[in-house]
Amino acid sequence: MQEEKKNPKNPVWSFFSSVRLTLALLIIIALAAVIGTVVPQQEAAGESLQKLPPALAGIVKFLQVTDLYHSPWFLLLMGLLTVNLVVCSLNRLPVSLRLYRRRPGPDRPGLYDALPPDRVLEAEGGVEAEADRMERALRKTLGNVERKQGDQAVWLAAHRGAWSYFGVYAVHAGVLVIILGAVIGSILGFDGHVNIPEGGSVDAIELRGGKGEMKLGFEVRCDDFDVEFYDSGMPKLYRSDLSFMKGGEIRARGVLMVNHPLEFEGIRFYQSTYGAVPGEAVLVITGKGQRTVRRARQGERFDIEGGKAQVEILRIEGNLMRMGPAVKIGVREGDRALSFWVFKFIDAIEEQNPGITRQVPQFNAGLYRPYRFGLEGIETSFYTGLKVNRDPGVPVVGTGAFLLVAGFLLTFFSSHRQIFVRVDRRNGKTRVSVAGQSSRDPAKLDRAVARAVRIYRGEAS
């Protein structure tokens, strides 16, 4: 069965072992990557799609161009490339193994014919002594030396770089490992965002692509947020002081800035954006001859009337219906519950709309008698916008990148160099003939031969 698969007449095997297929797939994937870079992806594509003609927008949606890297056709391309690389590697591996194991004999006929003069040396010593000298020179040059003894001569063979035959497999393996890392990240990882008000905390994030909410398994609290501006009003620097809490205890703290992410339990947090939100509302409560000032955030509660009634800040609006800052208050006393709005500029509103508090009871800040609520102002605070992701495939992709670079270095900057030497007697002198061959880069072979000769002559060490 294995032989049938490797039979070049097998059309399926021939198709997937084609280098042309590899080139075609790489070109298509590269073009797709360019499209994915130019065309806004996922949420960022919404506004762009609305500007397109309906027919073109339909084609874009059908091809999933705005979520290109998760589209079926892009995944199909990656799958085809994976199969292609595996088949190409299996198809070529037996040849590479033969080349790696092959050790041509240093005494084969014709090897030392037509050598240039600088490759044929004469010496006064005996054959054995000169062979020993040359063997030491070859060991310093290439490292591995094999010696063959004959009746009239001694032959030496040295080689280095046989692993260069496997550089292409390291490249293939690197690409496959990178694809594997991307798949792991896509399946086991996630990408989302969250906004945390200054002083607030969250335990969940919104997943990208409208995939809903996901619990983190811990809380993230924004202890402090600072932003600095240029004179033009553009933000110069913004940073978030974060605390990571689990089980009610702070497990880690850190300062988050742009390009300086934080990581907790394998989840990375990036400073993405920020914004202003209504912070504390400053309320003035008058009644029963008393005047009380309270500060409260949205969602906070406090007691009045000696604890008989509870006030809750339901909403805080910076400009409600263009009538200025307003706070919606809920008051509960036993089974009785009511809610109403408290406006900062209620006097001006009543001047422009006489009787509005009678017509719209919810605008009556004295609805809960004998108390009357007033709004001195709303203190603006910031929220920090964080990008949150986990990608367990990153180490795998890093490993693949290492293999890819190592494979390219091995393929293009390494070669299998072999030097062959014959030491014999001729015309009463010892003759040392030096030949060589290389899988590529003949200039590098020439340098290796020249160095071995210099060491043999004592001109180098």
Give the model confidence (pLDDT) of 124-176 as tens digits.
899 999 999 999 999 999 988 999 998 889 999 999 999 999 999 999 999 99
pLDDT at 1: 39
- Of the pLDDT bands very low, low, confident and very high (cuts 50, 70, 90), residue 461 is confident
- Of the pLDDT bands very low, low, confident and very high (cuts 50, 70, 90), residue 3 is very low
| Helix (H/G/I), strand (E/B), else coil: 456 | helix
User: What are 104-125's pLDDT values in tens digits?
Assistant: 999 999 999 989 999 999 998 9
pLDDT at 35: 83
CB count within 10 Å of CB 206 equals: 15
- Of the pLDDT bands very low, low, confident and very high (cuts 50, 70, 90), residue 39 is confident
Which one of 3.30.160, 2.60.98, 2.60.40, 3.40.50 gives the CATH number of domain 187-277+383-401? 2.60.98
Average pLDDT on 71-99 reads: 92
Q: What are the residue ranges of CATH 3.30.310.80 in the chain?
A: 103-161+415-457
- Of the pLDDT bands very low, low, confident and very high (cuts 50, 70, 90), residue 391 is very high
Size of the chain, expressed as the number of residues it contains:
461
pLDDT at 214: 94
Query: If you average pLDDT over every residue of the chain, what do you get?
Result: 90
Q: Poorest-confidence range of 30-44, 319-333, 434-448?
A: 30-44
Average pLDDT on 192-218 reads: 90
Distance CA 314, CA 338 (A): 11
pLDDT at 8: 52
CATH topology of domain 103-161+415-457: TATA-Binding Protein (3.30.310)
pLDDT at 445: 94
CB count within 10 Å of CB 7 equals: 10
- Of the pLDDT bands very low, low, confident and very high (cuts 50, 70, 90), residue 54 is confident
Average pLDDT on 290-306 reads: 90
pLDDT at 235: 81
DSSP 383-448: EEEEEEEE-TTHHHHHHHHHHHHHHHHHHHS---EEEEEEEEEETTEEEEEEEEEESS-HHHHHHH
Q: Poorest-confidence range of 45-59, 140-154, 265-279?
A: 45-59
Given the structure tokens 């000696």, which residue do they identify? 306
DSSP 125-172: S-HHHHHHHHHHHHHHHTSEEEEEE-SSEEEEEEEE-GGGGGHHHHHH
Both tokens of 169, joined, read 């497999």
pLDDT at 5: 46
User: What are 396-423's pLDDT values in tens digits?
Assistant: 999 999 999 999 999 999 999 999 999 9
Residue % of the chain over a pLDDT of 70: 96
Average pLDDT on 372-396 reads: 92
DSSP designation for 77? H
- Of the pLDDT bands very low, low, confident and very high (cuts 50, 70, 90), residue 43 is low
Given the structure tokens 């870079």, which residue do they identify? 37
- Of the pLDDT bands very low, low, confident and very high (cuts 50, 70, 90), residue 225 is very high
Distance CA 171, CA 389 (A): 29
Q: What are the residue ranges of CATH 2.60.98 in the chain?
A: 187-277+383-401
Distance CA 287, CA 419 (A): 105
Average pLDDT on 321-327 reads: 90
Residue % of the chain over a pLDDT of 90: 65
- Of the pLDDT bands very low, low, confident and very high (cuts 50, 70, 90), residue 4 is very low
User: What are 11-35's pLDDT values in tens digits?
Assistant: 888 899 888 999 999 999 999 888 8
